[in-house]
Structure 1
């Protein structure tokens, strides 16, 4: 279960970085993609801090 949570948070983190890069290309939608990237990075860091602490054997 720890590996699954790590993979999910890694995927969310990488998608968030992609959203950051899209913010420079989307005219008129820069703020939306940038904020979505910030929220995604926050979620990807929150998963290990809050979920993995409860999954200890």
Structure 2
């Protein structure tokens, strides 16, 4: 379960950084992409902590 939580969190975190980077490209929906990236980064940090707290503790 630790590896699964790491992979999910890492994928969300890196995907959020990519979304936030593409938001500065000047597209029409740049605020949606930035907000989605921010949410993905937040989930990428929160999901492993909550999953690992339930499994390990």
TM-score (norm: length of structure 1): 0.89
Moved over 4 A (4+): none
Tell me what 1:4 maps to: 4
Q: How does 1:41-52 map to 2 (within 5 A)?
A: 41-52=41-52
Structure 2: where are the runs of 5+ without partners? none
Q: List runs of 5+ in structure 1 lacking aligned partners.
A: none
In the comparison of the two structures, how many residue pairs are matched? 57
How high is the TM-score relative to the length of structure 2? 0.89
Partner of 1:27: 27
Q: Secondary structure at the match of 1:47?
A: helix
